[in-house]
Amino acid sequence: MCGQYTGLQPRIKNINPKAKYIPCSGHSLNLIGTYAAESCLYATHFFDLLQKLFNFFSCSTNRWSILEENIGKGKVVKNLSDTRCNETEWTMLFFFSQ
């Protein structure tokens, strides 16, 4: 919804040209963190590696069951999400706690 040309802002401006668009500060902070992480080559490679590990285990039920046997039934590795920071954080904590 943050797109300057295709998001919510131009839709509001089409209805009322005098309307002022004030973005959410939490969303702006999240965008700053996202762009900062994307600009760091080491962070990009790190998150890419985590995603590849998830893809490797999740594309095979046999590999997934072997992973579950080794980490315990209660723990689950989750797919990295672009919008859910808590799942990304949980995945990082999972790999570092082993």
Contacts of 1 (CB under 8 A, 6+ apart): 7, 8
DSSP class per residue in the chain: ---TTTSHHHHHHHH-TTPPP---HHHHHHHHHHHHHHH-HHHHHHHHHHHHHHHHHHT-HHHHHHHHHHH-TT-------SS-HHHHHHHHHHHHH-
Model-wide pTM > 0.85: no
The tens digit of pLDDT for each residue in 2-53 reads: 555 677 788 888 899 898 877 778 777 877 877 887 788 887 888 888 888 8
Query: What pLDDT score does 83 carry?
Result: 58
Give the whole-angstrom CA distance, residue 45 versus residue 2.
Answer: 26
| Least confident segment among 5-9, 31-35, 69-73, 79-83 | 79-83
